[in-house]
Structure 1
Amino acid sequence: MSLEKTAFAVRENAYAPYSQFKVGAAVLSEGGTIYAGCNVENIAYPEGTCAEAGAIAAMVAAGETKLNEVFVVADSKQPVSPCGGCRQKLAEFGGADTKVTLANLDGARVEMTMAELLPGAFGKDHLGDGHADRD
């Protein structure tokens, strides 16, 4: 299944009884595997998780820590954009040139790089000497 089809399919499994805003995300790992995630809401609102975080968690749980591409979809007027926290999470595992596709159910798409999605991202280089080489 393609990255796009995976994101669309997993979106259907989102647990969004409060917002009714279902989001699906798929990441393509450096190893060539696609991992999927959907948003999971909770009655204690801050305790929910985003689709992008779920896809990243699945990738890491499988033993991979680098992603090469991202696809995010939701039923929104314009292509859905990851929240700030998810942008930082994606930047942790992707590079500046990682392809990110944002989509809605009506067929609109926006393609960009991770650097365009999160310019000036906080990264390992900000930690100073002795930290930048940690993985």
Structure 2
Amino acid sequence: MSDLDALFEAAKAVRENAYAPYSNFLVGAALRAPDGTVFIGCNVENASYPVSVCAEGGAVSAMIAAGYREIAEAVVIGDAALCTPCGMCRQRLKEFGTDDLVVHVADLDGIRRSFTMDELLPAAFELEYTSK
């Protein structure tokens, strides 16, 4: 099984654990760090929608909690053929990936399209940090 196939399967499996009683729209995400470690997340809804968590946000939080700071590749899988990350999640992914980070968008049957981070979020908001 290729690294991309494994990433797809991880996102597909965690999608089944999503908590989406309001939208019934299950989403799973899997991120691969440069060393091959995979982090997963699923959407978790709440009656107060603004406090819901997207699948990508959950996966990024798991990655950060484990001490990692870089995403090498990502898969997002949902019930739609083209379930691209929302705007907030695009910014989250950009924070820990380069413009060349590839985000694969999938449905239950497989990868449907792949985007670079630059395609998903051109002219992203970025702060330049200096250590002085």
Instruction: Indicate conservation of the 8 Å contact 1:36/1:58, yes or no.
Output: yes
CA distance in 2, matches of 1:49, 1:5: 21
**Identity level (%):** 52
Partner of 1:28: 32
CA distance in 1, matches of 2:35, 2:65: 14
| Residues 1:73 and 2:77 aligned together | yes
CA distance in 1, matches of 2:42, 2:116: 22
Give the TM-score, by structure 2 length.
Answer: 0.91
Where does the alignment leave 5 or more consecutive residues of structure 1 unmatched? 126-131
What is the CA-CA distance between 1:45 and the residue it aligns to? 1.2
Correspondences of 1:1-135 after superposition (within 5 Å): 2-76=6-80, 78-107=81-110, 109-125=112-128, 132-133=129-130
CA distance in 2, matches of 1:133, 1:67: 22
> 26-35 vs 87-96, which deviates more?
26-35
How many pairs are equivalent?
127
CA distance in 2, matches of 1:59, 1:107: 24
Indicate how the Cα distance of structure 1 residues 108 and 31 shifts in structure 2: closer, same or farther if over 3 A, else same. Answer: closer
Partner of 1:129: none
Where does the alignment leave 5 or more consecutive residues of structure 2 unmatched? none
What is the CA-CA distance between 1:108 and the residue it aligns to? 5.2
CA distance in 2, matches of 1:37, 1:64: 15
Give the TM-score, by structure 1 length.
Answer: 0.89
What is the CA-CA distance between 1:88 and the residue it aligns to? 0.2
Q: CA RMSD in A?
A: 1.4
Moved over 4 A (4+): none
Provide Cα deviations, 1:56-100, integer angstroms capped at 9, x if missing partner: 000000000111001000011x22011100000000000000111
